[in-house]
Amino acid sequence: MTSPSAIASSPASAARLTLQWEGIAADTTTIRSLDWDRSRFDIEFGLRNGTTYNAFLVRGERTALVDTSHAKFRDSWLPLLATQIDPQAIDYLIVSHTEPDHSGLIGDLIDRNPEIEIVGSKVAIQFLENQVHRPFRSRAVKSGDGLDLGRHPESGVEHRFEFLSAPNLHWPDTIFSFDHGTGILYTCDAFGLHYCSDELFDSDPGAIAPDFRFYYDCLMGPNARSVLQAMKRMEALPPIRTIAVGHGPLLRHHLDLWLGDYREWSTGRSKGEAYAAVCYMSQYGFCDRISQAIARGIGKAEAQVQLVDLRATDPQELSALVGEASAVVVPTWPAQPDSDLQASIGTLLAALQPKQWVGCYDAFGGNDEAIDTVADRLRSLGQNTGFEPLRIRQVPDATDYQRCEEAGTDLGQLLTKEKTIAAMKSLDADLDKALGRLSGGLYVVTARQGEGDGVRSGAMVASWVSQASFDPPGITVAVARDRAIEALMQVGDRFVLNILGEQNHQQLLRHFLRRFPPGADRFAGVNLLEGAAAGGPVLGDALAFLGCRVAQRMEGPDHWIIYAVVEEGNVADTNAATAVHHRKVGNHY
Ligand SMILES: Cc1cc2nc3c(=O)[nH]c(=O)nc-3n(C[C@H](O)[C@H](O)[C@H](O)COP(=O)(O)O)c2cc1C
């Protein structure tokens, strides 16, 4: 530890923004921008724990800064940096990738130090030219290239960076940087999590594991193959002592656990041939986030997914990725694309194959081709519709992202249909019948989050429900991984378990077992007791309800076992009995 720790508060502003400056290894300091209130669906599907943007200062004979911060920290980040080092004394800025939450202050830094040399991948340097609109000195690097900062005069430690290309993690321009002097690997988005706390390191893995998993599913899972490629490159490095991530606590104490998780999840997602190619254009409208929502939905159905950047994928690779996919998802593109993009769109359309499933979504980029034109174009090529065009009429909100995720799940289910049917048939007949003698009650789980236009809600019929603790009172619900409502049952979320009565459950079952299109209001026409419980609608015709809060999620092979603490409850008719679900076989509910 070389520098004293300091917490600097931002000027009084509505949002809680603070800064943390702390030594993490020889001659190495982190500047963490803590964004306490940034909420879920505001940023790339983070959970409710806010997020951080981490930058790093490494001093040898020369000095390098790794990444900057989000522009919202401009008023506090730059002054804090200036108290620690004269910006003109920073020789290099290593840009791990150019997403604005890490690169938002690069322009300001160039203004303060026009001589600073910006080090990044070739694609990152190109992206940056369009972002900062100022001349700057640059050095494009790729896997195996190095940057020697020389020895720090006091510590004697030599800081020599080695770069690793890590395309698609999660932007196409990503590089990892390994400092041979400290064993720190700087990975920016990869291995990160949206979690805001003063805790600098991963000292409490249990506390951050759900967010680590959620972040992986949203941002890394759709590029599982790229994760494995990057991890292979990491294996050739000397021992990694710390992974200095761009979001959340730095990983130091449980590296094997985190790396093992990434390896296991990515290997699982890379199995099998059939995949959906979800195309997007980096730095265009809301393409990035919408494509992630669709990709997350596809992943929930256990289907493979590959995000494809139309701007940064070379024509041959694009043609192969699209041509070999079982499903292709396409954004609306600019009505007047530049020549490179125009060529990519041509390659994409030419690579489409008959019988592929296709879907399209509004990129909401401002001057897009109309979505119906894009949909017609796809239809005229004779493709099968995987989901109806996803129209986005305004800056996308939580409701839009939910709709996109559900459309993705529908598409994913089309790809995994045969596998699912085969799995159902594979049970031994006797075992199947014996398992079928397990019975349960009949329930409707409901959840609602957000307000106004951004409200997200869901409902599902459930019978795999059981009381699981006395003190505090708790229950478990087994929720299939591809259920729409799964997204609303993360740790900390509230939901309502509506317990159905023996006498009147049929009608409710009929309603909630219908197939709802993506984003449909599942409560239309249903009698609700508004405000009866926090967390979700209470069905007026239910026998009783329990208001629950998710405390833990255990990952089963095809269901999440969700343990929730029951916070409130009420019974409408104390004499009535709960509806019971008797089954014959164990391979259906
Ligand atoms: C009697 C019965 C019990 C069910 N129990 C569960 C359950 O416990 N967990 C679950 O994930 N799905 C269960 N399902 C399936 C879902 O209710 C149903 O497929 C779901 O509403 C579809 O919603 P989705 O579009 O969100 O996937 C059950 C279905 C029936 C018919």
Q: pLDDT tens, 28-63?
A: 999 999 999 876 655 566 667 899 999 999 999 999
Helix and strand numbers (H, E) in the chain are 14, 29
Establish if 538 belongs to a structural domain. Answer: yes
| CA nearest to 109, candidates 94, 99, 126, 122 | 94
Instruction: Give yes or no: residues 407 and 504 share one domain.
Output: no
Does residue 446 register a pLDDT over 90?
A: yes
Residue 295: φ, ψ to 5°: -65, -40
What pLDDT, on the 0 to 100 scale, is given for residue 43? 55
Q: With contact defined as beta carbons under 8 Å apart, do 325 and 318 qualify?
A: no
Instruction: Give yes or no: residues 197 and 319 share one domain.
Output: no
Rounded to a whole number of angstroms, the CA Rg of the chain reads 25
Instruction: Give yes or no: residues 164 and 233 share one domain.
Output: yes
For residue 509, give the ligand 1 atom closest to its CA: 31
Backbone region of residue 459 per phi and psi (left: phi > 0; alpha: psi in -120 to 50; beta: other values): beta
What pLDDT, on the 0 to 100 scale, is given for residue 3? 41
What pLDDT, on the 0 to 100 scale, is given for residue 41? 57
Residue 333: CB atoms within 10 Å:
25
3-class state of residue 431 by DSSP: helix
Instruction: Give yes or no: residues 463 and 535 share one domain.
Output: yes
Q: Indicate which residue's Cα is closest to atom 20 of ligand 1.
A: 460
Instruction: Give yes or no: residues 455 and 479 share one domain.
Output: yes
Q: pLDDT tens, 302-316?
A: 999 999 999 989 999
pTM for the full model? 0.89
Last residue of a domain, one of 248, 268, 288: 268
Instruction: Give yes or no: residues 281 and 255 share one domain.
Output: no
For residues 237-250, average pLDDT: 98
Whole-number Å distance, alpha carbon 480 to ligand 1 midpoint, is 8
For residue 409, give the ligand 1 atom closest to its CA: 27
For residue 462, give the ligand 1 atom closest to its CA: 5
Under DSSP, the state recorded for 289 is: H
Last residue of a domain, one of 211, 242, 268: 268
Establish if 587 belongs to a structural domain. Answer: no
Q: With contact defined as beta carbons under 8 Å apart, do 177 and 185 qualify?
A: yes
- Greater model confidence, 381 or 589: 589
Which of 409, 424, 444, 460 most suits a substitution to test ligand 1, by most atoms within 8 Å of the C-beta?
460
| CA nearest to 519, candidates 585, 458, 574, 432 | 458
Instruction: Give yes or no: residues 189 and 301 share one domain.
Output: no
What pLDDT, on the 0 to 100 scale, is given for residue 1? 36
For residues 285-310, average pLDDT: 92
Boundaries of domain holding 174: 6-268
For residue 512, give the ligand 1 atom closest to its CA: 21
For residues 334-342, average pLDDT: 94
Under DSSP, the state recorded for 152 is: -
Instruction: Give yes or no: residues 503 and 551 share one domain.
Output: yes
Q: With contact defined as beta carbons under 8 Å apart, do 363 and 290 qualify?
A: yes
Establish if 184 belongs to a structural domain. Answer: yes
Helix or strand run (H / E) with residue 492: none
Give dist(CA 317, CA 307) in Å, integer: 12
Whole-number Å distance, alpha carbon 206 to ligand 1 midpoint, is 29
For residue 485, give the ligand 1 atom closest to its CA: 26
Does residue 423 register a pLDDT over 80?
A: no
3-class state of residue 556 by DSSP: coil
Q: pLDDT tens, 18-34?
A: 999 999 999 999 999 99
What pLDDT, on the 0 to 100 scale, is given for residue 315? 94
Percentages helix, strand, coil for the chain (3-state, rounded to 5) are 30, 30, 40
3-class state of residue 273 by DSSP: coil
Give dist(CA 546, CA 494) in Å, integer: 11
Establish if 303 belongs to a structural domain. Answer: yes
For residues 491-509, average pLDDT: 96
> How confident is residue 571, by pLDDT bands cut at 50, 70 and 90?
very high
Q: Indicate which residue's Cα is closest to atom 24 of ligand 1.
A: 483
Whole-number Å distance, alpha carbon 459 to ligand 1 midpoint, is 9
For residue 477, give the ligand 1 atom closest to its CA: 8
Give dist(CA 567, CA 78) in Å, integer: 45
Residues with CB under 6 A from ligand 1: 460-464, 478-480, 483-485, 512-513, 516, 581, 589
Domain count, the chain: 3
For residue 460, give the ligand 1 atom closest to its CA: 21
What pLDDT, on the 0 to 100 scale, is given for residue 4? 41
What pLDDT, on the 0 to 100 scale, is given for residue 23? 98
Least confident range of 4-13, 402-411, 432-441, 539-548: 4-13
Instruction: Give yes or no: residues 192 and 309 share one domain.
Output: no
Does residue 8 register a pLDDT over 70?
A: no
Mean pLDDT of the chain: 93
Establish if 586 belongs to a structural domain. Answer: no
Q: With contact defined as beta carbons under 8 Å apart, do 246 and 56 qualify?
A: no
Which of 483, 498, 555 most suits a substitution to test ligand 1, by most atoms within 8 Å of the C-beta?
483
| CA nearest to 298, candidates 444, 413, 144, 435 | 413
Instruction: Give yes or no: residues 309 and 240 share one domain.
Output: no
From edge to edge, which strands make up the β-sheet containing 443-449?
456-462, 443-449, 494-499, 544-555, 559-571, 474-480, 465-469
For residues 391-404, average pLDDT: 91
Q: Indicate which residue's Cα is closest to atom 31 of ligand 1.
A: 589
Does residue 494 register a pLDDT over 90?
A: yes
Does residue 11 register a pLDDT over 50?
A: no
For residues 177-183, average pLDDT: 98
Last residue of a domain, one of 420, 454, 481: 420
3-class state of residue 391 by DSSP: coil
CATH number of the domain to which 495 belongs: 2.30.110.10
Within 47-150, where are the H helices?
A: 74-84, 100-103, 106-112, 122-132
What pLDDT, on the 0 to 100 scale, is given for residue 454? 82
Which of 463, 498, 508, 558 most suits a substitution to test ligand 1, by most atoms within 8 Å of the C-beta?
463
Instruction: Give yes or no: residues 259 and 283 share one domain.
Output: no
Percent of the chain with pLDDT over 90: 81
Establish if 249 belongs to a structural domain. Answer: yes
Q: With contact defined as beta carbons under 8 Å apart, do 497 and 575 qualify?
A: no
CATH number of the domain to which 116 belongs: 3.60.15.10
Establish if 588 belongs to a structural domain. Answer: no
Whole-number Å distance, alpha carbon 516 to ligand 1 midpoint, is 12
Which of 485, 495, 513 most suits a substitution to test ligand 1, by most atoms within 8 Å of the C-beta?
513
Does residue 14 register a pLDDT over 70?
A: no
At how many degrees (to 10) do helices 205-215 and 255-270 cross? Answer: 30
For residues 13-21, average pLDDT: 82
For residues 334-352, average pLDDT: 95
Whole-number Å distance, alpha carbon 532 to ligand 1 midpoint, is 24
Establish if 589 belongs to a structural domain. Answer: no
Least confident range of 33-42, 58-67, 170-179, 474-483: 33-42
Instruction: Give yes or no: residues 276 and 186 share one domain.
Output: no
- Greater model confidence, 425 or 216: 216
CA distances from 125 to 87, 90, 230, 380 (A): 21, 18, 20, 38
